[in-house]
């Protein structure tokens, strides 16, 4: 299973890359707007630097809602760097655009997926990735991971090459559940990635080892 960071924050991405465990990045207009406000840099510069930091797919999203606008946004975003994958919502217009971009060999991440039906349509249209938003489904009382499980099963049944990105992840157990289901990728906020390291017994073990070693050194007069 690959791990993507769901952020446009360059400091967070840099740290994840230094750990050697980040395979890609997903952004959206909200995340990019936050980074633009924080740094005063242009979105093109931010996206290009993310792509230079990460040796893998970097999802970016336009804001056009009509077919021609979506396609033009996608062409522009994909021209920023070869690593760019364009995020497109699964709507009738979006599906048409996904098919067109597939024909143009522009990589697409079908986003805002909330049902297996939407995932099927995206895969049929030629999307490289589909992103079911599990946290938002949980928020309205649906079972987000059940949707992921259904999508993974359907894709395996019909040998779709479209990869499943589990998105809108809220906590480390979402990551474990996605891995047990067999999802290809989980994209998560940096704070969730940090929490994956944490376990109280690890901290206790480190403290004990250090304490015992210091006592041994004291006996030896070191």
Q: Considering the candidates 15, 87, 100, 211, report the single residue annotated as catalytic.
A: 87
Partners of 61 in the β-ladder: 87
For residue 75, the tally of other CB atoms under 10 A from its CB is 14
Cα dihedral 195/4/146/29 (nearest 10) = 110
Residue 195 annotated among the catalytic residues of the structure: no
Helices (H), the chain: 10-19, 29-39, 43-53, 67-80, 92-103, 116-125, 134-139, 144-157, 172-181, 190-195, 200-219
Catalytic positions are 87
């Amino acid at each position: 299973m690959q791990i993507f960071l769901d952020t446009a924050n360059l400091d967070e991405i840099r740290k994840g890359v230094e750990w050697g465990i980040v395979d890609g990045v997903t952004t959206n207009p909200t995340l990019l707007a936050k980074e633009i406000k924080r740094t005063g840099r242009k979105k093109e510069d931010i996206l290009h630097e993310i792509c230079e930091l990460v040796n893998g797919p970097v999802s970016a999203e336009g804001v056009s809602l009509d077919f021609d606008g979506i396609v033009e946004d996608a062409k522009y975003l994909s021209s920023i760097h070869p690593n760019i994958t364009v995020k497109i919502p699964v709507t009738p217009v979006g599906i048409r655009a996904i098919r067109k971009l597939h024909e143009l060999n522009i990589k697409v991440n079908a986003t805002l997926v909330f049902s297996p039906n939407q995932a099927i349509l995206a895969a049929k249209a030629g999307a490289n990735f589909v992103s079911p938003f599990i946290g938002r489904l949980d928020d309205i009382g649906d079972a987000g991971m059940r949707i992921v499980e259904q999508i993974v099963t359907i894709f395996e049944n019909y040998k779709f090459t479209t990869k499943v990105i589990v998105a809108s992840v809220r906590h480390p157990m979402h990551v474990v559940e996605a891995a047990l289901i067999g999802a290809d990728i989980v994209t998560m906020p940096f704070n969730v990635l940090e929490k994956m390291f944490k376990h109280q017994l690890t901290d206790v073990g480190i403290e004990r080892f250090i304490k015992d070693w210091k006592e041994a050194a004291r006996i030896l007069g070191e």
